[in-house]
Structure 1
Amino acid sequence: MARTKGKAGRAEGGGVVAPQTALSTRTAVALLGLFVALTLYAAHWTATSLAPPLGSDAPGTSFAEGRAMQHVIALAGAGPGSIGERQVGTEAIHRAADYVEREMQALCDAAEGSAIACEVSRSRTSGSFNLEFLGASFVNKYENLTNVAVRLYNRDAPEERPKGVLLLSHFDSTLASPGASDAGAAVSSILEFGRAVVARGEPLDADLVLLANGGEETLMQAAHGFSFHPWMDRVGSFINVESTGSAGPDVVFQGSSWTLEAYRRGARRPLGSSLVQLLFEVEALPADTDYKVLSTRRLGRLHGIDMALGQKAQTYHTHLDNPGELVPGSLQCLGENIDGVAYEFMREMKRQFDEDDADANDQPDGIYFSFLRTFFVTYSFDTAQILHLVPLASICVLLATSNAAVSAATVADAGAALAAPVAFSILFAVLRVAATGAPMVWFSRPFAAFALYLPPAAAAAITFIRGLATHNLNTSGPRTAKRRSRELSTAYISLAIPLATVGALLTFSPYRLGSYLPTWLAASFVVAAVCPVRLDAVAGGVPGVLWRLVAVAVPAAEFASLSGGYALHLLGKIGLSGNPPFEGWKYVADAAVAFVISTLVIDMIGFLPLVVRLLPGKTITRALYVVAVVAAVATARWEPYSAHHPKRLMALHVHRPDNTSVYVMSAFDSVPTTHALQLHSNHHMRELLGLAEGGAAALAVPTAQDWLPMYPMSRGLSGVLVPGAPGLPPGSQRRAEVVLDYECSAARPCEGDEVAEGHVKMYLTLYTGEPAWGVVNITGAPIRSWNLGAAVRPTGLPSDPPHMYAIRFAGNGGVEKQELELEVPEGAELHVAVAAKFYGPTDALRALQAHLSDSVALCPLTVVHSRVRFVAGEGRGAADVFAEAKAAEVRGTPGAGREEL
């Protein structure tokens, strides 16, 4: 910015302009720095601040984290009396159900004599349903899973009363994890909330059902089973509580219809965004929750919301998910939100009943977002179609009435300034990994990711904003206050045009959930553009700077909290991003993190026209590039992992149909599997695996058949295969044996069976010996109909490629076999491949684990494979050879028109 010393100018209209002194420039720069710092602080506070935790001695009518933590320790602790890991199929899952049932019964005991009636239900459920997950379609089959629920309702409630509210989470944990946060913390918070409800003793506006289900980690099975529970006939909405990290604050990330408005009214510390819901629905966040099987938006019939803890995600699905890792205040924040939202849901159920509002559930979905944890904004898509056009209309008015020098060149520069941060940051990430050969060096030091990828993003944006300013300077004449004001207005209108256009296009697209962000950024730039000239004409333009700082800081604080919070979440959870078998994957984690971090610059790009005006030199951009390069050099030899940020490693001890056994191992991220095994430096590991010095290069690649038990997650795994593993120990009951019990046809009918002409019904039994998780893959012939067992509700056929049918199965104790009834063309050749997985390390895997670094989180599994070929009508089956030719077919090589997993 041009300066004068000791000289007064004359403003347009005859007024005297105060001298623009060096002091005024420094003041403006100080204000700019102050606003940027405050905006970043507000964003950080929004993304990470928690409630003060209450101890176990808090008043009984209050939710207290101290009391909830006692449940967490009982469920997920490692000490005496604690349960610890609670996987489906283990003995511990039953002890966890016993504990939850006792605590729910204690609620009923405490409710005696109050206005609230209480009853507990413990049920076992079996079923199946079609599921699409990670781009795959399959049947999800379950048997003998446990659900524990308690229903609270008014003692004098009439038979005709409002529908109730279901509040649920799951008490099972995933493989190799005690599950303190996922989801012991959620179940514990629900139990503590139920205790507070009973302690208050006040009549409820609607029934309240608290559910702890025992099978979410097997892909939402137990919640699906509970949807057929008799109590569900009286349930009208639900709140699902989850966790994907050991710290809050909790965020609402899925919802529908009126539920988000109810959340707005009830949440004590609201936090959420429809943009995150969009990312979830397009599987940019590859996960699912029980919301999927209950919500009318997905597979269910109810309206509800999904809320979860989301920070400190490096502990998620690892052995570190223990009670000691939960950040104090997280459960207090979660519990207070559950408290407020559950009561608001019950009030809404009563309102709908009292007003006979049959149309309430027909309300359209809409946009939602929070602002600095102080209030929550919701509006319908119909409103969005009007509201989101306002910035574009305002721009048209400004272009027609103002003297802003907007041109195609300035708009192009503005568009480049918005796109360049993402492009430059991703390019820098790819070049860094290519040059150093070291992906994810920031994983155990998240601050390093910001030091690496924020500077090039900011430098790129400043470069193009400066280009926009250069176009503004290509006019002659003195740089008066009016001209300086016009230059800034031109910059802000030019930035607003592409943002408003994108926002409007998104509003009328399938991706409208995310349309609010570019729209409201554009609106703030429109406000910044209409700063009165007189404010730029006094005191060195400081009042004008203030006007624009306030205009851009408000949305920047909120949107930066969204980008920053998601970046912090991603930095922990990127360790589960997968390791597909192609070379370019090593760049993906760094590129993804660079992309999310670079959006922080876009959120705060409204500050940059002021930066360029007040600090016109190129010193800033040069400094930013230097910081990025220095950070890249300094981190080039950093070890990505640590004991608190471990590498997740899957290790399968696989027993193949040809009586050979192998180890199959894969990382879950971009860093190669061999990095975790440390084969070059760990001679004990080489000896265990039977490898010679430098033998890592000779390791084989697993086939897709080896990864069958992990389907559909198998699509994101590659890793290494080591032959020569020991076989099953003598006396082991673990197996995957497929037996054809009998066949029926029109020519050879069975009593009570109807078989289509030219078809055969085959009755198969799969024996696993012990409760197991696994996958059945049936290929080779079209299946006309099927039934998955007498205890299992029939389900349709999956919609994947023709002649390929996948079934995932899981069950608790007492389920050592799976039954299949298939109707196929007579004479058809049917191939049945089975992979049964049993949790826990074998002696061989224990020895391997003992020589791994403490920076590796191992998930050990025993897997038993079998393959059987049947010809329908022949009454017998033959073993299928597990040969390399078959392995090639499994990988996708065309073979007689058949496709396998």
Structure 2
Amino acid sequence: MAAPLKQRHITLVNTDDAHRFPTLEPLPPIAPSSSSSLSNKDQQHHQQQQLLLKKKLHHASLKRPNGALQGLVYDIRLRHPRASAWLLYLAFLFMLVVVSFRLHYALPTPVSSEEGATVDPSTGQLRFSEENVRKTVRYLSEDIGYRVVGTEQDQDTQIYLIKELQYLKEQAQKTSARQVGAGALVDPMPNFDMWIQVENGAHQFDFMSKVVMKMYTNMTNIIVRLSCGPECDTNSILLNAHYDTTLGSPGAVDDALPVGVMLEMIRILSQRPALKKNSLIFLFNGGEESLQDASHSFITLHELRHSVRAVINLEGCGTSGPEILFQANSQPMIEAYRRVPYPHGTVMGNDLFSTGIILSDTDFRQFVEYGNLTGLDMAVYKNSYLYHTHLDLDAHMEQGLPQHLGENTLTLATYLGDQVDLQENMEQTKAVVYFDVFGQFFVSYSMDTAILSHIAVGGLVILSVVMGASRPTVRSVVSVVLSLVAALLTPSLTALTLQSLGKTMVWFTHEWLPIAIFGPLGAAAMLAVQMAFHDKKASRGTNELQTFSAIQMLYTVTMAIGSWARIASSYFLATYAFLTTAALLFNHRQTNAQRRAGHMTGTGVDYATYFVAAGPLTLWCSYLAFSLLDLIVPLTGRIGVDAPVDHIMAIMTGFCVFSFSPSLLAFSHRFGRKSLKRIVTGLVVLQVAVIVWVSVFMSPYDEMHPKRVFVQHLRNLTSGESLMYVAHADAGPFYTPYVSPIESLLDTKATFRSGGENPGDWNAVYPFNQFLDSYVFDTTPYIRKHTTNETLAKSKAPLTDLIHSPPRLVAEKVSYDAARGVRKLTMLCTHPEYIWTVMSFDAEVVSWSMDLAVPSKERFHYVVRNAGGYRTDGWRLEVEYKASGIDDKLRVELTAMETEGFGKDVERELEGSGEIGLMRKVVKARPVDVTLTYFSAVLSNFDL
């Protein structure tokens, strides 16, 4: 017996909605029947119906294919057109994200250092070699190690760089001599000049809302100039990288990578004919991490400073991905960047950096502030989890990254040195819009041009409304604005839930995790608003078109506000407004054609329009979102324990969810309010499941995404205390996983001390100390208990009495001017075997010997930091301050760091204490998901 024909029900709400099922046309129903009970006439009718059905399926390109998977897709499309439309659209969006990801993280193929590989066969010129750069990086970060200003490693680095540069100079001279000897008719080779600059100086460094007075002593710079001769020497491009490192980091990327890049550039350019217009100055500066002392020294004191017209600063705070142009301040320099082979940068980074939200700074500041220079600030920034940690190693630097940075910088410097007139139009300005397009090419134009283009976009928007392509209503505009607000705010409910479960920062280990953790609720809230505003009196198509039009209005109005405020980043809003308008115009054409063909009545949005809208918008948004997440997520691990990082990430996720594909709001109306309700419910259920999963299975940190912990062993010579301070830099869990084990190790309880209430606890790293709440351990009982020296164990004398040659402050040339009520003295600080002294005092200072203006005419809390080169044993400072008499002394607190401990896991032993290495024990007990910044320091108070 033949099986009965299965009934298929295909229902359309009305003819206006027929266009929303792109895979089907209306088909006649087939009545259920059995072939055994049909008459001949009925069988003929049945066959006609089947033939009609086949023709319909053929015209709709829905003939059931062979194969189980293809057949399943066929059945889904036939029986579940709504799911089919959603799945196809979401699959398209996912494909865009994948394409954007590949474009965003693409890096060039590294060039080896083998002799044949370093020569370009087409030109015969030397090629940039990543492997040569990595040799430098490995030597600096592994063979030398922690290159902190003032340490022996600091001097070792200088010796290495001078040796390498002298070798390159000799090779360049040999090449030039061979050409002259052979009588070759070629362009002359560049002059290769070198300087070693060692200077003393001072500058004011305001950072993190604090005033810091900086002094430096014996600060060293190594400088190379490549020039075509005197005619090129009057105009120079400065390239800068620092060779020192911060506490606790071997600095492979920060900043050995840029140092290696500059060495490789010198190798190549010194073997090529000289650049014809401008000379190139390479500054290997020896003190950036000490608060930009060496760059200040060069730009204020070196003889070459007057010839510098522009600067390219190279920095690193990550270990992967392409470097980014994140600061630029002149149109000619930005236009020069358009020549690089792998552009990556946006003015949004410039605007974000200028807000101060990103708690970081570079030498670029010194060149702009003291040299009035224009230029470019470029940095490696992705995967900055390892920035300023012991994991900043060559092994963790992605393949292709040095090649990317090197080829871009070499191309840029060559173009500037060979073709740009540095005397023209080099004024500082931030009124320039610039951005790369998927890393393929670079766009830049003035803010005036941007405003004109925004006006044009506004005109196009008005035209779309007049034509009827855009039909916003007050109801739809309000719904879109509220959807944006809901997307931004409701993810904070997830953040609050996780915080109540003790699961702060569980998203930290991967940049994309905040989207997965906070995104479902943001999307649910966004769509719930649309569900509430769905107009039952209007057709679904009308709801779609009005919502689509409201999205256009939102971006147009915000674009207008940004343009009025002359915010360069408003180009982002203009792009969204333009592309949404283009999609609406496309839809207008499509729906008009459908109406003329009789396939549609009323208004609506053609299915293809969503693909037209999402194509460029989602691709563009995803590309920018990768940069935003790469920058912000790791940054939350070092912005302080009080920062509301979960809510910051929740809000940022909401913004990404809304911006990812704005047309989703319109698409959500396509199948009615009931469908929207099911989607919102599903997203809420998904959010609950995510919270449960996260709270049970996830933790905030791992080995490659560690928590930052700071340890200071401070010996107070005035009070006799020996204390260990342990602090952290984020809001994640701390006491139980880390402090408690130290309590067990030292067999003592820690005392909590607020950084806000005890600002002097971490003066050694001022002004970063304001974020450091601490747990403090009294280490005296532990040392007495474990020392092999019985006399020391039984003694009641302070352990600090055993410290050898501590730093001292004395007053010289003390005088008092009764008429002016001013006391004058010269402070002499001696600190053999110690570095990075920090002096603080309260006074109404009238004048001092630093070449700086006194920042306040009233009584003020001064903090003066001093950094010096290797074997710098002291400094002097003359001060005049208001006083009641000659005996009205100045109370000064002095902190200094010990030279040991920077990467060697040791600290200075107390004289006669036996083998007690307290810091060594703490370092060895470090959990795998923690990175330490540690040092030992001494503190004294002096009445001068």
Q: Which runs of 5+ in 1 are unaligned?
A: 748-755, 789-793, 870-876, 878-901
Aligned to 1:609: 665
Does the CA contact (< 8 Å) of 2:328 and 2:334 recur in 1? Answer: no
2:608 match: secondary structure: helix
Aligned to 2:680: 621
Aligned to 2:823: 760
Aligned to 2:168: 107
Separation in 1, partners of 2:326, 2:347: 7
2:195 match: secondary structure: strand
Does the CA contact (< 8 Å) of 1:146 and 1:222 recur in 2? Answer: yes
Matched positions, count: 813
2:427 match: secondary structure: helix
Instruction: Indicate which of 412, 435, 457 corresponds to 1:341.
Output: 412
Aligned to 1:503: 559
Separation in 1, partners of 2:318, 2:857: 33
Amino acid at match of 2:449: T
1:133-532 → structure 2 map (5 Å cutoff): 133-154=207-228, 157-159=229-231, 163-227=235-299, 228-295=301-368, 298-347=369-418, 349=420, 351-353=421-423, 357=424, 359-361=425-427, 365-402=431-468, 404-434=470-500, 436-468=501-533, 470-471=534-535, 473-475=536-538, 479=539, 484=541, 487-509=543-565, 512-532=567-587
Does the CA contact (< 8 Å) of 2:329 and 2:375 recur in 1? Answer: yes
Aligned to 2:705: 645
Return the offset for 1:865: 1.6
Does the CA contact (< 8 Å) of 1:567 and 1:597 recur in 2? Answer: no
Does the CA contact (< 8 Å) of 1:549 and 1:607 recur in 2? Answer: no
Return the offset for 1:239: 0.5
Does the CA contact (< 8 Å) of 1:567 and 1:593 recur in 2? Answer: no
The 10-residue stretch of structure 1 (274-283 or 728-737) with the greater mean CA deviation from structure 2: 728-737
Amino acid at match of 1:141: M
Separation in 2, partners of 1:360, 1:570: 32
Amino acid at match of 2:404: C
Does the CA contact (< 8 Å) of 2:708 and 2:728 recur in 1? Answer: yes
Separation in 2, partners of 1:376, 1:466: 41
Separation in 2, partners of 1:635, 1:25: 31
| 1:770 is aligned to 2:830 | no
Aligned to 2:632: 570
Pick closer, same or farther for the CA change 1:731–1:663 going to 2, 3 Å. Answer: closer
RMSD: 3.0
2:769 match: secondary structure: helix
Pick closer, same or farther for the CA change 1:723–1:278 going to 2, 3 Å. Answer: same
1:593-608 → structure 2 map (5 Å cutoff): 593-608=649-664
Q: TM-score, normalised by structure 2?
A: 0.81
1:96 match: secondary structure: helix
Return the offset for 1:706: 1.1
1:33-182 → structure 2 map (5 Å cutoff): 33-57=90-114, 58-60=117-119, 61-77=126-142, 82-112=143-173, 113-114=175-176, 115-154=189-228, 157-159=229-231, 163-182=235-254
2:155 match: secondary structure: helix
Separation in 2, partners of 1:165, 1:210: 9
Does the CA contact (< 8 Å) of 1:9 and 1:18 recur in 2? Answer: no
The 10-residue stretch of structure 1 (819-828 or 796-805) with the greater mean CA deviation from structure 2: 796-805
2:205 match: secondary structure: strand
Return the offset for 1:270: 0.9
Q: Deviations over 1:808-859 (max 9, x none)?
A: 2211223222322111124256332222223524311111222221222112
1:784 match: secondary structure: strand
Amino acid at match of 1:866: S
| 1:658 is aligned to 2:658 | no
| 1:797 is aligned to 2:862 | no
1:676-695 → structure 2 map (5 Å cutoff): 676-679=737-740, 682=741, 685-691=742-748, 695=749
Q: Deviations over 1:581-631 (max 9, x none)?
A: xxxx4xx22222223333321322323035314455133333332232222
Does the CA contact (< 8 Å) of 1:739 and 1:766 recur in 2? Answer: yes
Aligned to 1:872: none
Pick closer, same or farther for the CA change 1:7–1:528 going to 2, 3 Å. Answer: closer
Q: TM-score, normalised by structure 1?
A: 0.84
Return the offset for 1:216: 0.8
Amino acid at match of 2:503: A
Pick closer, same or farther for the CA change 1:846–1:8 going to 2, 3 Å. Answer: closer
Q: Deviations over 1:413-447 (max 9, x none)?
A: 1112223222122332133212x112112323555
2:561 match: secondary structure: helix
Q: Deviations over 1:341-375 (max 9, x none)?
A: 212322454x345xxx3x44266631221111112
1:137 match: secondary structure: coil
| 1:32 is aligned to 2:55 | no
The 10-residue stretch of structure 1 (492-501 or 314-323) with the greater mean CA deviation from structure 2: 492-501
Does the CA contact (< 8 Å) of 2:544 and 2:605 recur in 1? Answer: no
Does the CA contact (< 8 Å) of 2:320 and 2:380 recur in 1? Answer: yes
Separation in 2, partners of 1:816, 1:361: 42
Separation in 2, partners of 1:800, 1:367: 41
Separation in 2, partners of 1:340, 1:850: 46
1:236 match: secondary structure: strand
Return the offset for 1:665: 1.1
Return the offset for 1:556: 3.0
Return the offset for 1:263: 4.1
Amino acid at match of 1:125: E
Instruction: Indicate which of 524, 535, 558 corresponds to 2:590.
Output: 535
Separation in 1, partners of 2:13, 2:682: 32
2:491 match: secondary structure: helix
Q: Deviations over 1:188-230 (max 9, x none)?
A: 1111122122233354431011111111111111111111211
Q: Deviations over 1:508-529 (max 9, x none)?
A: 337x133222232122222222
Amino acid at match of 2:707: K
Amino acid at match of 1:739: V
Does the CA contact (< 8 Å) of 2:729 and 2:772 recur in 1? Answer: yes
Q: Which runs of 5+ in 2 are unaligned?
A: 1-8, 28-59, 61-76, 120-125, 177-188, 784-797, 908-916
The 10-residue stretch of structure 1 (365-374 or 82-91) with the greater mean CA deviation from structure 2: 365-374
Separation in 2, partners of 1:403, 1:271: 36
Separation in 2, partners of 1:19, 1:801: 85
| 1:810 is aligned to 2:867 | yes
Separation in 1, partners of 2:479, 2:666: 16
Return the offset for 1:33: 2.7
Does the CA contact (< 8 Å) of 1:531 and 1:548 recur in 2? Answer: no
| 1:670 is aligned to 2:731 | yes
2:349 match: secondary structure: helix
Calculate percent identity across the aligned residue pairs: 25
Return the offset for 1:25: 6.2
* Greater Cα radius of gyration, structure 1 or 2: 2
Does the CA contact (< 8 Å) of 2:328 and 2:374 recur in 1? Answer: yes
Aligned to 1:751: none
Amino acid at match of 2:625: S
Amino acid at match of 1:531: F
Does the CA contact (< 8 Å) of 1:650 and 1:859 recur in 2? Answer: yes
2:551 match: secondary structure: helix
